[in-house]
Amino acid sequence: MRVRAAPGLVAALALLLAACASPPPPASKLPERCLDRLATYDMDFAPAPDFSSGGCTVRNAVKVSRFGRAKLSSPALMTCALAEKLSAFEGVFLQPAAERILHSPVAVIHHYGTYACRQRTGGTQMSEHAKANAIDIGIFELANGDKVSVTRHWNGAGDKSEFLKSIGQGACTQFKGVLGPDSDKAHYDHFHLDMGTWAFCRLKFTDPRKR
């Protein structure tokens, strides 16, 4: 037996289908230029002029003094790409891990530099530092005054070690290159985070990007 739908019902269904088929409202888009995107993030920075010196060239750089709730120990020159990733890293990995494991947010990120016109440690190619595309971070100072040091706390079983392992793993999902105390002697006291061409995560756990 065939059931005939009432004309009113057919019209209502047609309207419903038309509503489903209409395109969704446009999503709010982030600006296309990295510098314009930085302006929408919770961070303090100033654009820096491009320059070349001693065979090293820095382009699209900014000088950053704060990411979210964490100040940098001193303002740091870095590429916009690195600044953007650090901003996300602070909000998504660093502060949540600090709150969860150490019960205090990170107030100061003590870094050992970003720009340095030099070759890679033990290599002949130029370091990402030569483009201000890398940062070395040694100590995380908490709002309660306590400090977490890569040198003292990477190897161990305490909360501070767990915190460093947690953010190290997070870093490997964000940055192109991650080095630390497991990598070589040159990195015994800091995390090296860069936005270079090559993807590597030389810490002693599985690269989360390769699972």
Give which of 172, 174, 160, 162 is closest to 203, Cα–Cα.
Answer: 172
Judged by CB under 5 A, how many residues of this single chain contact Zn ion? 3
Rounded alpha-carbon distances, angstroms, from residue 40 to 34, 43, 199: 10, 9, 27
CA-CA distance, 135 to 114, in Å (whole number)? 4
Q: Which of residues 46-65 bind Zn ion (CB under 5 A)?
A: none
Out of 131, 160, 165, 192, name the contact with Zn ion by CB under 5 A: 192
Minimum separation from the CB atom of position 58 to Zn ion (A): 15
Q: Given the complex with Zn ion, which of 90 and 136 has the nearer CB atom?
A: 136
CA-CA distance, 174 to 158, in Å (whole number)? 25
Give the range of 127-135, 137-145, 154-162, 169-177 binding Zn ion by CB under 5 A. Answer: 127-135
Q: Given the complex with Zn ion, which of 102 and 132 has the nearer CB atom?
A: 132
Minimum separation from the CB atom of position 134 to Zn ion (A): 5
Question: Any residues with CB less than 8 A from the CB of 5 and at least 6 apart, and which?
Answer: 13
Q: Which residues of 70-87 are buried (b: 16+ CB within 10 A; e: fewer)?
A: bbbbeebbbbbbbbbbbb
The amino acid sitting at 28 is S
Give the range of 13-21, 65-73, 167-175, 188-196 binding Zn ion by CB under 5 A. Answer: 188-196
CA-CA distance, 43 to 210, in Å (whole number)? 31
Q: Given the complex with Zn ion, which of 84 and 136 has the nearer CB atom?
A: 136
Minimum separation from the CB atom of position 69 to Zn ion (A): 24
Q: Given the complex with Zn ion, which of 136 and 141 has the nearer CB atom?
A: 136
111 binds Zn ion (CB under 5 A): no
Q: Given the complex with Zn ion, which of 69 and 120 has the nearer CB atom?
A: 120
Rounded alpha-carbon distances, angstroms, from residue 201 to 22, 117, 209: 44, 23, 9
Q: Which of residues 129-158 bind Zn ion (CB under 5 A)?
A: 134, 136
Which residues contribute to the site for Zn ion (CB under 5 A)?
Answer: 134, 136, 192
